A and B are shown apart, each in its own frame.
Chain A
Amino acid sequence: MSTTIDRQWTTRLRRRLVEQLPPDKALPDTQPSYVSSWIYVFGVVSLSALVMVILTGFVLAIRGPQWWHQSSIGHYVNSLHLWSVEIFFFAMVIHLWGKFFMAAWRGNRSLTWVTGAVTFATSIATAFTGYVSQTNFDSQWISTQAKDGINATGAGAFFNVLNTGQMLMWHIVLLPLAAVVLTALHVVMVRRKGVVPPFEEVSK
């Protein structure tokens, strides 16, 4: 009986998950003493801003893409969306530079860095598709200018920035999904490996 249970996909997956990310690493109650700098704040600030971006995006999605042009409440929710995006990028850039100067990839943490950097690139694409989906002068101008760069790479044949419906779908479905999955992977890797220790320096 126990052999049968041991072989189940579910059992094996659960054991694998617990082995890779035990509860005390997933939800730690202590951290190394060297984690003592304001720079560490910008990771959780990025994550918090991402939560705000998604929540405000949800509210905008409920009433549709034209709502924020017609309602003062809608315009305020759009403002919340815009400023949470600005905070998200501000925090993410500082987080990225901080991690760079810590060489945070050391000790088999390369994939943590890679998922973070790819999340940054994905976030830029997500924000861009938002800018061209605004259905106002900004989206008209940005899309007609950006088309030249994207067309020049050949990608414009399939990724048409002048097609508002296509861009909105990328903005509210495909790219946020990618960004959230990548962020989740990134956070799991951080929890699993822990925060990179300082460089060792030989005492003079």
Chain B
Amino acid sequence: MSRRNFNPDRDVREWTGAQRPYDILKEGAIALLVVALLTAGLALVFGSPDEKQVTIQQWSSADPVDFATTAYSELAGTSGLAGYGAPYNNASDGQFLGVTHLYLAKMVGVHIPIDPAQTFVLRPLATLPDAATVRFALATWKNASDTERQNWLNEYGKATLSFTHGQLVATPLSLSNPVDVLIASETAMARSGALDSAMVTGGGLYTTDYTNVLLFIADGGWFATLADHQHLLGDQWGMMNETGSYPGQAWLWLYTFWYQIHPFSTSGNADVDAWGIMMLLTAGLILVPYIPGLRSIPRRTKLYRVIWRDHYAGRV
């Protein structure tokens, strides 16, 4: 390489100076031993968090009105999931990426189709054995027109829900409204634990896919209340936290940071914008050696003088 083309941020004259003894295997063995001891000590002293999973049964027992309200919103098509868009349905366009106005999720399309009313309410209720009242309500719902269904939903939506003496009560409500039977039965089913089973094993005995049951729990308010107590909400830097006082995914601090500041903290497109920014920054990190200006930072800041202080002091 000619001297004229030498770029100090890209090129270097390879070292031909002094060498000193170096036992790479010994170094590796000592490092492994120290890290193993440190890991064992930290694990012994601090352990690891294991907050038990929550179930629909726990949710409906702890907050039956929140559960019933959520079940109603799934039936009425007003829940968060019902209006989510891709990959679950076509109810909305979803988020668009910054200035590009590209609706990425919509472009990819619906690949995990979920009909909330069927998946979370009607199909599980149909699995209840010996429940003539429920079967009648399901049949009434199925045979009704869209207008009739909407009228029932509107009436139920205006009713006040309460849970007294082990029963969900909606008042005022006409006796002929099947929504009352559907939601009350679903609440009773949930409190018995049968809804967990129906939703988890809906696709067969063996399963490792909990998409439906997790989406349903996440649509309710109770789940977020638990997360709030564990400082896990988005505006609590929750994305990098975990339950208890553990470090969590501290390496996600920059990704989480965008959600804390304007305009992302109030933007409807925060998720895709934060991803877009992080992808750009990650690409920048990977490609530092090829980006003029960025690759000059080490030489200009001269922090390398701290690292190689012995070399520059002529001590080595």
Contacts and interface: CB of A to CB of B under 8 A. Distances in A.
A30 to B, nearest CB: 4
On chain B, which size bracket covers the interface? 35 or more
A86 B43 CA distance: 11
A113 B286 CA distance: 7
B234 interface: yes
A5 interface: no
B14 interface: yes
30 contacts: A45-B34, A48-B31, A51-B35, A75-B50, A79-B42, A79-B44, A80-B40, A82-B48, A89-B250, A100-B288, A105-B288, A106-B9, A110-B290, A118-B286, A124-B249, A124-B252, A136-B53, A137-B53, A140-B214, A142-B239, A145-B232, A145-B234, A152-B269, A157-B105, A160-B112, A162-B211, A163-B209, A163-B210, A165-B208, A199-B8
A198 interface: yes
B83 interface: no
Interface string B4-39: 000011111111011111111101100110111011
Interface of A: 27-37, 39, 41, 44-45, 47-49, 51-52, 56, 68-69, 75-76, 78-84, 86-87, 89, 93, 98, 100-103, 105-107, 109-110, 113-114, 117-118, 120-121, 124, 127-128, 131, 134-146, 148-158, 160, 162-166, 168, 194, 196-201
Contact of A124 (B11, B104, B251): B251
Contacts, number: 284
Given A84-B35, A106-B11, A163-B208, A157 B28 contact: no
Nearest to A36: B310
Contact of B14 (A84, A107, A162, A165): A107
B298 A103 contact: yes
B28 A44 contact: yes
A68 B43 CA distance: 14
Q: Which are the 5 A-B pairs with shortest beta-carbon distances?
A: A165-B208, A105-B289, A79-B43, A157-B111, A154-B108
A124 B248 CA distance: 12
B303 A149 contact: no
A151 B110 CA distance: 11
Given A86-B247, A89-B251, A148-B271, A48 B22 contact: no
Contacts of A166: 208-209
A136 B38 CA distance: 26
A49 B94 contact: no
A51 B310 CA distance: 32
Nearest to B303: A101
Contact of B275 (A33, A106, A145, A149): A149
Say whether chain A's binding surface is mostly helix, strand, loop, or mixed: helix
A131 B249 contact: yes
Contacts of B40: 80
A19 B311 CA distance: 31
B262 interface: no
Nearest to A27: B24
Interface string B96-135: 0000000011011111100000000000000000000000
A162 B247 contact: no
Given A98-B307, A103-B295, A136-B51, A152 B13 contact: no
Given A52-B35, A128-B249, A198 B22 contact: no
Interface stretch (B65-73, B172-180, B181-189, B215-223): B215-223
Contacts of B27: 44
B57 to A, nearest CB: 14
Interface string B204-246: 0001111100110110000100110010101000110011001
A189 to B, nearest CB: 13
Contacts of A158: 111
